[in-house]
Structure 1
Amino acid sequence: MCGQHVYKSTKLYDRERAEIFRIREESRLLDEQTWGIKATKTFKDALDSYLLTGAPPRFVNSLLDRFSSKRLKDITQNDLDEAARKLYPNAQAQTRNRQFYTPFIAVWNHAAGNNWADVRKWRRPRKPRGATLVRARSSRSGTRPVDYELAARFVAAMSPAPAMIMTALFYTGLRPIEAFALTADDVSLENRWLVVRSSKTGEPRGVPLHSFLCEWLGPLVERAKDGGALFRTPRGKPYTEVQEGGGGLKTAINGARRRSGIKDVSPYTGRHTVSTGLVIAGVHPHIKDQILGHAATDMSRHYTNVPQKPLIEAIDMLPVPDLWRSLPWVASPKDWWSRLAEGTGRRRNSK
């Protein structure tokens, strides 16, 4: 076997620790050369690479605590289930799925895409069928769809900038964090298509654009060609994640609730409303799931960047109330995106 020279800094000043690092690194390289890269990559390697893509970091700390330096090839379904039970012993299946299985599978799919691991079908927890017991829990805003007329009234009570992103959520079904990450390169008005580069599942996907969005998104796309976010706050800053109590959109939502008197709308309401609206319109479940990013077939991934006529036709079945279309910023977003809602601060009339 031919010798191989690798030069790599340990970034350590302590000679003893540096020597330990050298020995471990040489062992890893030897194993990789002998057995292949799939035999050496750890979950931490995959997680670090996954986060470098700009993927959301939420919930990943618990994964690192459980798997850290464990090699990907050694992780089993039983390991995953056992870790979830220990971390969430009293949680419902939906909670374990959302906060543990989904981020784990996203990291795994990323590793498989790098050829660091084999493609694998992981089993997720399921809600027991036919259960007669109902757990009492408080209703949280944003977990149910609303009528588009009510949604229009709520959005009309917002400042134009947050109203724009909320409108996009109600006519794409995007998760808020996906909308926050959009740039000019992700949107093609001509093709009526946008691309979510890094979704919750770790896979990119294409999303059709409703004709209503195409009427006013043009100026936002032009502005975003400076390399910034497509959607921005009235002060021109990118929106941040709203979960766990943060984000400028949360302030806008609370203000609109106060002004409109409508309390059951949150950033995720748009996603639930799109899903229900497509069902009511008679859209085929496969089309609906692909629009919302539920479909995870190889074929759906293949068409990430290819506009699909059935999806575009389906999204246009969502209704647009006259009130929504008549909002002043729709006709001229550039003249309105830095203004604030009436009675909101001293920057109300600034442009």
Structure 2
Amino acid sequence: MPFTIYLRGKIWHYQGTIAGRRLRGSTRTSDKERAQRIAAEKEAREWKGELDGPGSILTFSQATTLYLDAQKSDRFLLRLVSYWKDTPIRSIKAGSVRQAAIVLFPNATAATRNRHVIVPTQAIINHAADMDLCPHLKVRRFPVERKEKEPVTWEWVQKFMAHSNPHLGALCCFMFLTGARISEALSVHWEDVDFSEGKVLIRQTKVGSERKAHLPAVLVAALANIESNREPISKVFKYSSLHTARPQWRKVFKRAGIKPLSYHACRHGFATAMLRKGIDPITVAKLGGWKSAQHVFTTYGHAMNDETLTDRIVD
């Protein structure tokens, strides 16, 4: 049955049947001529989807809804949805995705363009592809010049703790000995800490899952020295965000006489120290909450500047 329009209040609605499927909806307009045009376009799209397959009419906006309905991360999506809007998925090619990254982030680094545009756009389209709604999309990323970042060491952490307040020192120790990201550490509540078992529940914001991390004795002691009411719903670390902690974090460098390093250098140090102690990348990835052991190896597996290490072959 061809689509027809009818009034509901002051707004025109449409209804009709496509291949036995009864469809209805709002045109969102009180203008009759515009409503007739919207209904006709809707009918044409539905027939195209019926005859040529769902991928012929699937839009980026619809694919994003499917992606979020599957409980996928919404990081970086707002700007993408605003850019692509109702662009048909069939017209989004690898080149147009790379161009979108340049348009949206004209002065950004290659890593930012990859992370904020290419990766999430590709993830949304490929999620729809997994549902047999469109072809998979592969986009070549912008080349990134990797700079070796310096990790903190246990000696660095000890000096930091000796010259900072208990909250900040415990935070530094916590990130180094659990591999937690700064956002994850600041989200830990006292109800997440089990001193009797020496465990802490870490909600992994970046990968959308949880893990239980071991608390070494030195970290238990650092946490125990924090002055707090210990209410279950209270945060372990008093800082509301990484920005509020940063000024105090930076002041410690001069007092302790240590090199200025970032929060993430603690997580970096966790991985590097574990790898140098002979722990395999798969185990390090599991303990630190990384999805990929390959990422751990390539990012944190620094070469050791000691030519005498070859002696170990025959030791």
User: What's the TM-score once normalised by structure 2's chain length?
Assistant: 0.59
Relative contact order, higher structure (CA 8 A, sep 6+): 1
Q: How far is the alpha carbon of 1:273 from its aligned partner?
A: 1.9
CA distance in structure 1 between the aligned counterparts of 2:243 and 2:263, rounded to whole angstroms: 8
Of the candidates 59, 62, 73, which is equivalent to residue 55 of structure 1? 73
CA distance in structure 2 between the aligned counterparts of 1:110 and 1:184, rounded to whole angstroms: 37
SS of the residue corresponding to residue 209 of structure 1 reads strand
Asked if the contact 1:96/1:125 (under 8 Å) is kept, the reply is yes
What's the CA shift string for 1:115-160, capped at 9, x where partnerless?
Answer: 555555543233479xxxx9xxxx9xxx531112323443562563
Of the candidates 194, 210, 213, which is equivalent to residue 209 of structure 1? 213
Asked if the contact 1:28/1:40 (under 8 Å) is kept, the reply is yes
Partner of 2:177: 171
Asked if the contact 1:44/1:68 (under 8 Å) is kept, the reply is yes
Alignment of 1:228-267 (within 5 A): 231=235, 234=238, 239=240, 248-259=241-252, 261=254, 264-267=260-263
Q: Compute the RMSD of aligned alpha carbons.
A: 4.9
CA distance in structure 2 between the aligned counterparts of 1:121 and 1:212, rounded to whole angstroms: 43
What's the CA shift string for 1:175-226, capped at 9, x where partnerless?
Answer: 4445567799999998969686763xxx655656234399599x999935xx
Alignment of 1:132-211 (within 5 A): 144-154=150-160, 157-158=164-165, 160=167, 167-177=173-183, 199=206, 204=208, 207=211, 209-211=213-215
Change (3 A) 1:231 1:123: farther
CA distance in structure 1 between the aligned counterparts of 2:111 and 2:60, rounded to whole angstroms: 24
Asked if the contact 1:145/1:273 (under 8 Å) is kept, the reply is yes
Asked if the contact 1:154/1:257 (under 8 Å) is kept, the reply is no
Asked if the contact 1:169/1:270 (under 8 Å) is kept, the reply is yes
Q: How far is the alpha carbon of 1:114 from its aligned partner?
A: 5.6
Equivalent position amino acid for 2:270 in 1 = V
Change (3 A) 1:25 1:119: same
Change (3 A) 1:289 1:231: same
The runs of 5 or more residues in structure 2 that have no matched partner are 1-17, 295-315
Q: Mark the structure with the bigger radius of gyration.
A: 2
Partner of 1:295: 292
Q: How far is the alpha carbon of 1:280 from its aligned partner?
A: 1.7
Equivalent position amino acid for 1:223 in 2 = P
Of the candidates 274, 280, 284, which is equivalent to residue 278 of structure 1? 274
Change (3 A) 1:258 1:82: same
CA distance in structure 2 between the aligned counterparts of 1:81 and 1:176, rounded to whole angstroms: 31
1:223 aligns with 2:268: no
CA distance in structure 2 between the aligned counterparts of 1:195 and 1:233, rounded to whole angstroms: 13
CA distance in structure 1 between the aligned counterparts of 2:229 and 2:55, rounded to whole angstroms: 43
Change (3 A) 1:282 1:28: farther
What's the CA shift string for 1:315-336, capped at 9, x where partnerless?
Answer: xxxxxxxxxxxxxxxxxxxxxx
The runs of 5 or more residues in structure 1 that have no matched partner are 225-229, 240-247, 298-351
What's the CA shift string for 1:72-118, capped at 9, x where partnerless?
Answer: 34322222233334555665533432343233344345545665555
User: Quick check: which one's strand share is greater?
Assistant: 2
Q: How many corresponding residue pairs?
A: 265
CA distance in structure 1 between the aligned counterparts of 2:57 and 2:268, rounded to whole angstroms: 41
Q: How far is the alpha carbon of 1:295 from its aligned partner?
A: 1.8
Identity of aligned residues (%): 26
SS of the residue corresponding to residue 270 of structure 2 reads helix
Q: How far is the alpha carbon of 1:30 from its aligned partner?
A: 3.7
